[in-house]
Amino acid sequence: MSDKDKTKGQLVSELEEMRQRVAVLEKSEVKHKQAEKILPLPAEDYQKLFELFPTGVTILDMKGVILYCNSAVYNKGGYTEDEFTGKHFSKIAPLRVKDIPTYIRVFNSIVRGKIPQPFEITYQRKDGATGWSELGISLIKVGGKQRILVTQHDITDRKKKGEQVYVANERLQYLLSASPAVIYTARPSGNYGATFISENVSKTVGYEPQEFTKDSSFWVDHVHRDDLQKVYDAVTLLFENSYGAYEYRFKHRNGNYIWIRDEMRLIRDEKGNPIEIVGYWADITESKEAEEALRESEERLRFHAEKSPMGVVEWGSDFIVTRWTGEASNIFGWTAEEVIGKPIMDLHMIYE
């Protein structure tokens, strides 16, 4: 149908359709010009930008070949750029051989679109030392091609400090377990239940540390009932003097009572409020038994000395009289009260 044969309505309709097409073309041209204005920076400009980053930046292709890495990646380990760029990631020197299968599994997962959460890796420095990094991975488009972007934050210093803390804790645990003294912390109120007690407590009293910390009454329930008042009095004085030491009997797992020397100190906050009791136990059973044996021996000696028909006189290395029996009083005329505590040389008057 020629334009002459078309009705006015048809011509108007075609004209409107042409206007719409022109509008679409004009909008497309505007978008194209805007796109030209916001084109990505050239690759060399991005590289200059990445070089300013303290964080390591690596770009790999989808086959695992390193296309670019900034100096933060290789300088930290003492390497050069040539030892990274152009190489497959599994061939670079910092990777430990035993870790390569793990990295390949992670890489294959990334290629399939499964991006892992940031994770830590261990790497080998050129000088043989070990370093640690935290990696973050994402997929990006560079020049229309899909690439893998890896950011690398070196955490070697943090890890070393963590290792130092771990070693220090292990050393402390060894010292606590090897020491005969049982170290503990306790609440400064209530029944003064233990909040921490060293592992060697099991060697001393036969109970495990968690038996003390799980049951706040465990300690006080095992103190000999005849010593409880003495213990409570000592703890009361602790709040006045901030330090205390006392001895009491504690029930061993085997059912016997052992003697404990307990020394403790009260810890206060900046305002002077009690926040914790810190102390240690020492098993003094042997020394207590030795003291008791000595006391019994002295009692026997005193009995036999008093019953002896001979006068018994004792003095120490300082020549001070320590024993003067009744028979000695009969022989020399001096009573024990007059002689004990005086130098033996002063007794020449007894012969006058």
pLDDT tens digit string along 121-170? 899 999 988 899 999 998 988 878 899 999 998 888 888 887 777 666 66
Of the candidates 85, 121, 115, the one whose C-alpha atom is nearest the C-alpha of residue 103 is: 121
H helices of 271-315, where? 285-307
Give the pLDDT mean for 87-114: 90
Cα(337)–Cα(227) distance, integer angstroms = 35
Of the candidates 129, 127, 112, 121, the one whose C-alpha atom is nearest the C-alpha of residue 150 is: 121
Q: Which amino acid is at 114?
A: K
pLDDT at residue 318 is higher than 60: yes
Cα(51)–Cα(349) distance, integer angstroms = 103
H/E stretch holding 45: helix 43-50
H/E stretch holding 281: strand 274-283
DSSP symbol at 284: -
Predicted local distance difference test score (pLDDT) of residue 46: 67
Predicted local distance difference test score (pLDDT) of residue 30: 44
Least confident of 41-45, 66-70, 194-198: 41-45
Q: Which amino acid is at 89?
A: F
Sequence-distant (6+) residues with CB within 8 A of 285 are: 258, 259
pLDDT at residue 35 is higher than 50: no
Predicted local distance difference test score (pLDDT) of residue 190: 85
308-351 is classed in which CATH architecture? 2-Layer Sandwich (3.30)
Residue 312 CB neighbour total at 10 angstroms:
16
Residue 300 · residue 294 · CB < 8 Å:
no
Whole-number mean pLDDT of the chain?
Answer: 81
The reply to whether CATH 2.60.120.620 applies to domain 179-288 is no
Least confident of 93-97, 218-222, 301-305, 311-315: 301-305
At residue 60 the predicted structure's pLDDT band, cuts being 50, 70 and 90, is very high
Pick the residue with more confidence: 38 or 60? 60
Domain 43-159 and domain 308-351 have a common topology: yes
Of the candidates 107, 129, 124, 104, the one whose C-alpha atom is nearest the C-alpha of residue 116 is: 107
CA atoms within 13 Å, Cβ hemisphere of 70? 21
Angle 154-156-161 (CA atoms, 0-180°, nearest 5)?
A: 140
**Domain range summary for the chain, segments of one domain joined by +:** 43-159, 179-288, 308-351
Q: Bridge-partner residues for 217, per DSSP? A: none
Give the pLDDT mean for 224-244: 91
Sequence-distant (6+) residues with CB within 8 A of 96 are: 122, 123, 124
- State the DSSP string of 308-339: -SS--EEE-TT-BEEEE-HHHHHHH---HHHH
Predicted local distance difference test score (pLDDT) of residue 328: 79
- State the DSSP string of 152-171: EEE-HHHHHHHHHHHHHHHH
CATH of domain 43-159: 3.30.450.20
At residue 351 the predicted structure's pLDDT band, cuts being 50, 70 and 90, is very low
Predicted local distance difference test score (pLDDT) of residue 347: 73
Predicted local distance difference test score (pLDDT) of residue 92: 92
pLDDT at residue 227 is higher than 70: yes
H/E stretch holding 35: helix 8-37
At residue 43 the predicted structure's pLDDT band, cuts being 50, 70 and 90, is low
pLDDT at residue 311 is higher than 60: yes
